[in-house]
Structure 1
């Protein structure tokens, strides 16, 4: 679409964090580069950081409006996208509004539910703040139609659908190996934290083995509470791909994710998915490849009968280049005039 565009993405979520936001932004940049679009990032790198209270793995940048303004101006970007609502996102929004710089945003995380799971903060308070945050931009991108519809009902405006992709070469049924576990193997991959609702999976009366891959603040407690489950910690690359392909069912117990990249990775690996009928799974599995049910045990058992080829076929609907194309279309239509005109340095 363009060969001379530079896009600045502001994100509080960045390496060494392992999560869907970081992975999505990295893959987006790779695909945009193939389209001739340069992506530059404003991240916590280069700032002093402190651990997020109750979640030490997440580091929050200690920045000032002046420092963020300097980084934004130094980027000389044609368009600005604010991906997160953390300290950097808040300051970047403030700078853009003060200087009349147009920007877009994206809604990756259900912060109201995330926060209320840890602190006595009413969800509506947080949604009110988020509505003000995002409605100040030219467009807000969301990963699924159901999330877009929900947020529209809550008063969010200028909503655009920005889907996700999956690496169909890395995540493939052919990577299946013998995990050395009693079958069937019911797998869950993701951050081991309260908002992921892992006890809903670990409490299920299921045959075989429950396998959890991932790390997080709730890991020590869950390992102690569920000694019969297998906790492998964080796995990456080829090892993770082999685990996905080797499970019989992928169980996704979260009720608060906005998409669920791990769902499409499991599907690409030929592993059927069991989940609640909520945003993310509801959208992804509408085309098959798994079972949705408010009774997660019934969903998990029924998913054993889903053909692995059906799961793999469903993953084919998700492509990183298409994801990047959607992003590029939204940011160029929302900010049609190449955004800010920078003065000479």
Structure 2
């Protein structure tokens, strides 16, 4: 359970409404091994024969490689060998994560990822600042692909699960790369609440007995947690987007975050949140923001628009002939307005 998985689960639903079938070749179809230091994540061990059988049974019109894991590399190899165009997406800052966990130099991982993605016909990224960063590091064919939020589920409510005092909330994976300690070490009034599971959960529970750790919450329970808080604190320096930011703001919850990629693309400083390297000051100041305005700031983020943009990218990069014409019929005129370019100057076509 993470932002990447949730994105593709919702994408499948929205694409179906557009007449598009999304089939997934995922880890559950292969033998898996636990990821070193992160056993909750299982790494697939796919064989080319098994992969080829699944691929040929599906006969897809277009291919998108979601992540750079073992299946992703297998799909890349298969497509390149057969001259099949494909798109990829950049969800995770593996160079920073591997550097933190295993002291692998970032430029080594960056070089590997550049090789992986540049072989494709398009690289989808969630924010303009990430697009600029990747292009500056030699990544090619960058395409915008935003995210959405369910404003029917996430909305303000008259509920206080964690008491009446100021409640400062974190939602997400409880793991080293999320920089949660930067939040837990802040000198703040009231109560700190952490919602989520992960490999650091037991360790942080023992280290911070005054913090409320709820474990993983989903659906209505998660929505109630957001609505019960006063400020959403997002300490991560490495997230490429942060769907939890949209969920918090849709709940009327102002954000306190660092001025880094992700928050600075989503949060309007001084309106829907406070961005500052001084996270304590940001958290205290965010309490004064108007919650109705905070919620209104995410009104344009919809999963339908995200799906239409994904389909438009696939169509431009991969489809030809009848398949392209069919996809275009599923892209009504509102699609054009939602396709915000990642940069203003013209970019090469592909």
User: TM-score, length-normalised on structure 2?
Assistant: 0.90
Q: Distance in 2 between matches of 1:246 and 1:214?
A: 16
1:78–1:338 CA contact under 8 A, matched in 2: no
Match of 1:269 among 232, 251, 261: 251
Q: State the match for 2:274 in structure 1.
A: 291
Q: What is the CA–CA distance in structure 2 between the aligned matches of 1:303 and 1:317, rounded to whole Å?
A: 22
Change over 3 Å in CA distance of 1:76–1:98 after alignment to 2: same
Q: Which runs of 5+ in 1 are unaligned?
A: 1-17, 341-345
CA distance in 2, matches of 1:181, 1:51: 39
Q: Deviations over 1:266-309 (max 9, x none)?
A: 00001000000001100001373111001000110110001101
Q: Which runs of 4+ in 1 moved over 4 A?
A: none
CA distance in 2, matches of 1:25, 1:246: 28
Provide the rounded CA distance (Å) in 2 between the counterparts of 1:141 and 1:188: 27
Q: Give 1:89-238 correspondences, 5 Å limit.
A: 89-174=72-157, 176-181=158-163, 183-238=165-220
Instruction: Note the C-alpha offset of 1:339.
Output: 10
After the TM superposition, which residues 61-72 of structure 1 pair with which residues of structure 2 at under 5 Å, given as runs?
61-72=44-55
- Equivalent residue number for residue 347 of structure 2: none
SS in 2 for 1:173: coil
CA distance in 2, matches of 1:180, 1:64: 49
The counterpart of 1:59, out of the listed 42, 53, 59, is: 42
C-alpha separation between the residues in 2 aligned to 1:159 and 1:338? 23
Other structure's SS at 2:102 match:
coil
The answer for the alignment partner of 1:306 in structure 2 is: 289
SS in 2 for 1:286: coil
Displacement of 1:178 in angstroms is: 1.9
Question: Contact (CA 8 Å) 2:162, 2:228: kept in 1 or not?
Answer: no
Q: Which moved more, 1:58-67 or 1:89-98?
A: 58-67
1:212 aligned counterpart, secondary structure:
strand
Q: How many aligned positions are there?
A: 322
Residue of structure 2 equivalent to 1:278? 260
Q: CA deviation at 1:233?
A: 0.4
CA distance in 2: counterparts of 1:336 and 1:239, whole angstroms: 41
Query: Structure 2: how far apart are the matches of 1:219 and 1:339?
Result: 51
SS for the counterpart of 2:22 is strand
User: Could you tell me how far 1:64 is from its partner in structure 2?
Assistant: 1.1
CA shift, 1:336, in A, is 3.1
- Pairwise CA RMSD of aligned residues? 1.3
Q: State how far apart, in whole Å, the 1-side matches of 2:230 and 2:291 are.
A: 9
Compute the displacement of 1:182 (Å): 5.2
How many angstroms apart in 2 are the aligned matches of 1:135 and 1:69?
22
CA distance in structure 2 between the aligned counterparts of 1:339 and 1:63, rounded to whole angstroms: 32
Which secondary structure state, in structure 2, belongs to the residue aligned with residue 40 of structure 1?
A: coil
Deviation at 1:181, TM superposition (A): 2.7
- The separation in 2 between residues aligned to 1:234 and 1:182, in whole angstroms, is 22
Q: Output the CA distance in 2 between the equivalents of 1:170 and 1:67.
A: 39
Structure 2: runs of 5+ lacking an equivalent: 324-350
Name the CA distance, whole Å, in 1 between partners of 2:78 and 2:162: 54
Q: Structure 1 CA distance, aligned partners of 2:9 and 2:162?
A: 33
Report the Cα distance in structure 1 between the residues aligned to 2:162 and 2:133, rounded to whole angstroms. 43
Separation (CA, whole Å) in 1 of partners of 2:213 and 2:236:
18
| Cross-structure match for 2:229 | 247
Q: Is the alpha carbon distance of 1:243 and 1:208 closer, same or farther for their aligned partners in structure 2, counting shifts above 3 Å?
A: same
TM-score of the superposition, structure 1-length normalised? 0.91
Match of 1:11 in 2: none
Given that residues 160 and 229 in structure 2 are in contact (C-alpha distance below 8 angstroms), is that contact kept between their aligned partners in structure 1? Answer: no
